[in-house]
A and B are shown apart, each in its own frame.
Chain A
């Protein structure tokens, strides 16, 4: 879907790198949640982040699209900053209106779906394309119906979110993120709030997106999904990346004792 481009941005990083994080630090008061996180996600690849709760993996994900501001480090998406402007050796935080333009290129799927409850499924999908990207309603509607077919919910277009099951709501949320044609999709524990029998339908949709070559960063507890789909598995603990690499090798033969201990508990 996103054809990899090979030109180099002004920061000298090949733009085939979609997410480039270097030395990311983040504190809440005296509590340092991220202690220098490095991660590189190439265009068209899938990175799965696993780790115990409190390891900072969700916080790190939220730093990528600047839902959380960082205290130190460098975070580039498609070769440019999201929430900052570089001048000399200073990063100036941008006003919300400027950040919004960059955020529109970064899709996000939440644990709690966060669909707009006062709008129908179709209205949820066309709201941002029409209001933010100024797409004509007819065009946005056609694209939305197409996306709903892809997630298998075409017949639910006029339902309200509360009339859908959790799995259906999450599939609508994925379609809503896709409606903005994002360069990268962030998933924050997308199946953790679902009943066990509904997890599969959401993972199926995510697998089909991975096959289409959409760049994805997924915070998840689904080790099986990570092994099957991820190009890169990242294990975080205590605010740092402990180990990362090929998911099959890492799960079969973890190098760090902390990784081994965590995998032993969840597998």
Chain B
């Protein structure tokens, strides 16, 4: 019995550690996919440099150095808007805010229409582009892929553990039922 409980605490300890890792991973993935992280590069258009935008900034704070993604060179990018010809500005009221970004050297195309703000779509498109370039340059060694695989493995492991627990409970119940039934038979 003693040995068992000791093993249990050990198990829970490692589980807790794993869980905290999973949580930090979740928030980390969040920061990558949903929140804009900007690292300036001298050649980037100044307007697309990092600017803290309230909550976005706070959530992303301290996490931007976790991944070493390639820095974008604005000269390599081709951007497509549907703003069309004409004077633009106040004279136009177009609602097409989708941004299509092409990385000329690799031909990778990213489309972003997550929000109704051109500014935010542009920034997110660049963010996605950096992840895609990382995968294109480093292949299986890309941190993006490694992290993704890790998270898949972690999920599988978690599911396996949960299934094992379920199985144990089921067996325990069967044993209980088996213990009770013979008594019933004799009664």
Q: Say if A and B assemble together.
A: no
Residues on A lying within 8 angstroms of B by beta carbon are none
Residues on B lying within 8 angstroms of A by beta carbon are none
